[in-house]
Amino acid sequence: MSVPGEPVSGAVQSISVGGRVARARMLRPRSDRSLIAGALAGVESDLELLFRRHWPRAYRAAFLIVQDAAAAEDVAQEAFVAAIRRLDRFDRQRPFGPWLGAIVSNRAIDWVRARSARREITEPELEHGSPSPPIGRYSDEVLAALAALSPEHRTVVVMRYVLEYTPGEIARALELPRGTVNSRLRRGLDALETRLRGAGLQ
């Protein structure tokens, strides 16, 4: 029993400190691994948080590959749905972002190829949607230079410099030889440099 005027007991101090620690833990962002575990257990809020955390990067990568805002939304959403369906097979020792990025990139390049095939049959050019906020840091000249690349070159450039994959990771994600990835990167960057120099940006 404490006496008025005496120091706070060690027990009370520990409760107070423990409360601060608990609050600090609540404020600390949860890891992807924790959110994935929650999503697999059916916690919708964890699934939504996982989506919100990775959406901007997934959308940006999709847009830079497909060059169409509406299509980029579809591609990124479909990639996320595909990732969730395979979540029980995902190795949680690996980071989630790069795994999702590989799915986005593959779906984006499939979309571009399908569009090219449609154009060969129907001819009319599809209008590109205007970029939404996550794309704002790229100038019109950079977007135009990227759009001029072939889908294969555009994809490896985006994966390397937007998603920050290593060439080896790109090779595994796209199931390509490492030499092919390096060659596409080199040619893609050369083409970008040429176009940007022509636009007066180099």
Domain residue extents for the chain: 31-198
Q: Of 181, 143, 146, 131, which Cα lies nearest the Cα of 160?
A: 181
Q: Of 147, 153, 125, 159, which Cα lies nearest the Cα of 199?
A: 147
**pLDDT category of residue 48 using cuts at 50, 70 and 90:** very high
Averaged pLDDT score across all residues of the chain? 81
* pLDDT surpassing 90 at residue 78: yes
**pLDDT category of residue 64 using cuts at 50, 70 and 90:** very high
**pLDDT category of residue 144 using cuts at 50, 70 and 90:** confident
Q: Work out the number of other CB atoms within 10 angstroms of the CB of residue 26.
A: 8
C-alpha span between 111 and 131 (Å, rounded)? 17
* pLDDT surpassing 60 at residue 202: no
Contact assessment for residue 107 and residue 79, using Cβ atoms and an 8 Å cutoff: yes
